Amino acid sequence: MIWPLVGMIAETRVDLSAYNPLAGVRVSREGDELVASWPMEGGKSGRFVLSLDPQRPLIRSIGGVLRDVDPAGVVTVGTRDLKPAGWTIFFDNPRQRPYEAFPLV
């Protein structure tokens, strides 16, 4: 017999063992969200909400600025040209040499 697996999705574990409430940031789990909030100037508060549901975007909201966002990025691995040319090292272009790029997921 096959039993339906409705509602049997594994819950995302959150390790708050190193969390220190004395730091001034309140962190709590609210259903399928991890919420961080902190006091700000003028009696206001900041709020950062992450979704723990893998079927939803990771970032639920940042204050009132962002909502339902999946972050994306790329890490480039290569070499730098560290010739002693003063501050011009900041204009080095690693992509002119062999490199690899990896998506952040």
CB 48, CB 62: distance < 8 Å: yes
Do 96 and 83 fall into the same domain?
yes
Residue pLDDT tens, the chain, 105 long: 444 444 445 678 889 999 999 999 999 999 999 999 999 888 888 999 999 998 899 999 988 676 677 878 888 888 777 766 656 666 777 778 888 889 887
C-alpha distance across the termini of the chain, in Å: 38
- Number of domains comprising the chain: 2
pTM summary value = 0.55
Residue type, 103: P
Degrees, nearest 5: CA angle 40-41-45: 30
In a domain, 4, yes or no: no
Do 35 and 66 fall into the same domain?
yes
Do 62 and 86 fall into the same domain?
no
**Secondary structure class of 41 (helix, strand, coil):** helix
For residue 58, the enclosing domain spans: 23-70
